[in-house]
Amino acid sequence: MAARKRKARAMAAGGVVLWRRLSAWLPPAWLPRGRLGLSALLGRLSDRLSRGRDRRARRNNFSPAGNEAGHEGSVGRGQADACVIQKWLITEGAHRFQWIRNLVPEFGISSSHVKVLSSPAEFYELLKVQIKAAKQRVVMASLYLGTGLLEQELVDCLEETLEKSLEAKGSPDLRVSILLDYTRGSRGRKNSRTMLIPLLQRFPEKVRVSLFHTPNLRGLLRLLIPERFNETIGLQHIKVYLFDDNVILSGANLSDLYFTNRQDRYVLLQDSPEIADFFTELVDAIGDVSLQLQRDNTVQMMEGMVHPYRGDKVAYCEIANRRVMEVINSARTRQELLHAKTFHSSHSGSSLLSQQGSQASGGLKPEPDTWIYPLIQMKPFGIQIDEMVTETLLTEAERDARIYLTTGYFNLTQAYMDLILGTRAEYRILLASPEVNGFFGAKGVAGAIPAAYVYIEHQFFSEVCYLQQQERVQLQEYSRAGWTFHAKGLWLYLAGSDLPCLTLIGSPNFGYRSVHRDLEAQAAIVTENKALQQQLHQEQEQLYLCSGVVSKSTFEQPNRYVKLWVKLLTPLIKNFF
């Protein structure tokens, strides 16, 4: 019965894929903006219409000429649709993911502008170098800023760069914008706020510190839940760091552990002004609906803005939705216009765009072979783009394709579990062993969280075994002495390929919190370039080298013993961590 339910759920998810494949061939003007739930609705309708069709008919060799010319003729409506689907199915490599641009802006760049980092130390040094070199803007979004010596050095770098900007004559005006979570950033007497107040006091016109407060923590709930536990209700979890036109995408926070011995992922996008503009606008939009830190360590909302926990919740969330969707849709419109110009210039033989690019950069602008799609998930605001794209990627994965999925906190949503267990691709899921879990050794109730993750992992593994999927779905545990594990994302290898053509990198953990509670952002990076694919492959291999395969004997080890009260409590609280 359970297996049938999972297959039924996977088939339902396939309906969404069908609509998205078809919508990829529709003119952008025909597609809805800001009402992303319509795609899911139409997907389910199309699934019902197509269930009775023979799947093999979709792969028949219909004549594409009639469909492309707008004449269905003897092909018929159903066969024309099948022709469109067939064209999608035979699309090679990275181009099969172009349907994502129907939801978000697509940024085409050269793979030479992408660098994959591997270590916390490399990440930390890059942050300092980029801060010191910034001339126009520094924008940093993180869960929190730590209070140690390494974090203080980052603040000192910001202060030094701001001072140089003031002293320089005729140079661009440097602006610093920092977005953190209110509850996590306010924890303790010495916290993120106290670390940043000196910058606000010295450069009040140049520094902005925004503290996002979830609208779901309000009223009696806000009064009763103590510090630390109030962070379970919802957080600002986005991690993006940009300096002028250089962007670092990561899952790492601004804390000493993430600079030393807490393994994460990091990708640098160099000389990418459109992407930097997008994330600047995104951080500004969230900042506008966040509390603003003042020089006396108080906070206040921008004038005329609805308060996140004192004001009307529905009104606040509607405003936030509009602000974020404006950023997404305006960027998407700009990129569509750019694509249209590029298309017309290439078909007319014009090299105007290349000439303009060479004039601006002083050299010939390389043709894009890599595409960046920013995926936003803000369920409190009704924005579910990342969830939709991730589910579609899992659904689309064909037989013999391989997906390497990693998360520091293994607590997949039911939908993701159904798709993993109900589709045909091979999965290698990397998760933290108890000893490298970030909560290992914590005091109080938090100290039991690693055991709760063990229990969740055991349940999922038992389901895999029950469905006899052990060969196709494999769990691996990251273990490294003296380190903790925080990496998240996935790598997609198409059938027959030894290198990935797509990766997801950013803040989501693929769990309930990421989908329903927190503000999240990651990017789908799609590339045709073999050298960049090799970089991504090496990144994946390096992480998985520090892991062991999970088997039944894994859960027989003494350190995997889960107390009864943890087993009883986990189903009740698993949606909060």
Given the residues 113, 239, 458, 537, the one annotated as active site: 239
CA gap 33, 104 in Å, rounded:
10
Given the residues 113, 213, 237, 379, the one annotated as active site: 237
Based on the residue annotation, tell me whether 458 is a catalytic residue of this protein: no
CA gap 383, 246 in Å, rounded:
26
CA gap 330, 323 in Å, rounded:
11
Based on the residue annotation, tell me whether 7 is a catalytic residue of this protein: no
Query: How far apart are the two ends of the chain, measured CA to CA in Å?
Result: 29
- CB-based contacts of 74: which residues, under 8 Å, 6+ apart? none
Given the residues 47, 244, 369, 386, the one annotated as active site: 244
CA gap 220, 329 in Å, rounded:
37
Encoded amino acid at 39, one letter: S
Here the tokens at position 540 are 């994946």
Based on the residue annotation, tell me whether 244 is a catalytic residue of this protein: yes
CA gap 439, 451 in Å, rounded:
10
Encoded amino acid at 480, one letter: R
Q: Which of 487, 497, 499 is nearest to 537 (CA)?
A: 499
Chain centroid, CA 318 distance in Å:
22
Answer for the pair 242, 212: CB distance below 8 angstroms, yes or no. Answer: no
Here the tokens at position 324 are 């974020």
CA gap 64, 304 in Å, rounded:
55
Q: Which of 504, 508, 539, 537 is nearest to 523 (CA)?
A: 504
Here the tokens at position 313 are 């919740």
CA gap 206, 192 in Å, rounded:
18
Q: Is the torsion defined by CA of 314, 319, 322, 328 positive or negative?
A: negative
Residue holding tokens 């990440």? 123
Strand locations in 97-231, DSSP E? 107-109, 114-117, 137-141, 175-181, 207-212
CA gap 525, 405 in Å, rounded:
15
Number of Cβ atoms within 10 Å of the Cβ of 400: 13
DSSP letter (8 states) at residue 500: -
CA gap 438, 450 in Å, rounded:
8
Q: Which residues are catalytic?
A: 237, 239, 244
